[in-house]
Chains A and B, each alone.
Chain A
Amino acid sequence: RKEVEQDPGPFNVPEGATVAFNCTYSNSASQSFFWYRQDCRKEPKLLMSVYSSGNEDGRFTAQLNRASQYISLLIRDSKLSDSATYLCVVSHFGNEKLTFGTGTRLTIIP
């Protein structure tokens, strides 16, 4: 079983719609969680960290459920510029090593 699992998609969503991604992780010792965004042929960039209390950044909301070991990302009012691959990432407490999921590819359709 992979340490971080994501639905690879692709998700094709009309502009303005709301889209949600889920991710599960297998190591209960994981302590830090992130969503990275990767545009086509570009490097990954941190989108947001994910906290137990949930956090929001504009149109983006991230949630963490430790009991079920899953992480979610919600994008509201999607824009064409949101088209990218979204990578779910976990790391262990005190360990700076990140483990990436395979990524979920999102395409926003005009």
Chain B
Amino acid sequence: EAGVAQSPRYKIIEKRQSVAFWCNPISGHATLYWYQQILGQGPKLLIQFQNNGVVDDSQLPKDRFSAERLKGVDSTLKIQPAKLEDSAVYLCASLHPARGDTQYFGPGTRLLVL
């Protein structure tokens, strides 16, 4: 079974620039998550989708972050404009429909904002 795919794996940008990340969840996983993991911390949920609808975006900084999952499969997360403190790993995860809380994570996109 193919895992969660993410791209790019690495990205370096300057502050105030824009950046977008892409995620393709495991086939059949209706629930998709984006997490931000800052160095030395655990992952922090940014947004949760159920199919193409947003379930929880309470911790998403909406002034600069946006995410969409238009067809209920792939998802993109965008930051515009980026700040230095956005440097982190952005992890996408999807939820196994028959195993409740078991989330499967992609390899992440490592973002460095200079």
Which residues does A use to contact B, with CB under 8 Å?
A: 4, 8, 32, 34, 42-46, 49, 87, 89, 91, 96-103
- Nearest-neighbor residue (CB-CB) of A46 within chain B: B102
A44 to B56 alpha-carbon distance, docked (Å) = 21
A99 to B101 alpha-carbon distance, docked (Å) = 11
- By secondary structure, the A interface counts as strand
Q: Are B101 and A96 in contact (CB under 8 A)?
A: yes
**B101 CB contact (under 8 Å) in A32, A87, A102:** A32
Q: Are B91 and A43 in contact (CB under 8 A)?
A: yes
Q: Are A100 and B40 in contact (CB under 8 A)?
A: no
* Contact sample, A vs B, 25 pairs, CB 8 Å cutoff: A4-B42, A32-B100, A32-B101, A34-B101, A42-B107, A43-B106, A43-B107, A43-B108, A44-B43, A46-B103, A49-B101, A87-B42, A87-B43, A89-B42, A96-B101, A96-B103, A97-B45, A97-B48, A97-B56, A98-B101, A98-B103, A99-B45, A100-B44, A102-B40, A103-B41
Q: Are A100 and B43 in contact (CB under 8 A)?
A: yes
Total contacts A to B, CB within 8 angstroms?
44
**Residue B34 at the chain A interface, CB threshold 8 Å:** no
- Beyond A32-B101, A34-B101, A43-B91, is A98–B106 a contact (Cβ under 8 Å)? no
Which residues does B use to contact A, with CB under 8 Å?
A: 31, 40-45, 48, 56, 91, 95, 100-103, 105-108
Q: Are A96 and B31 in contact (CB under 8 A)?
A: yes
| B40 CB contacts on chain A under 8 angstroms | 8, 102
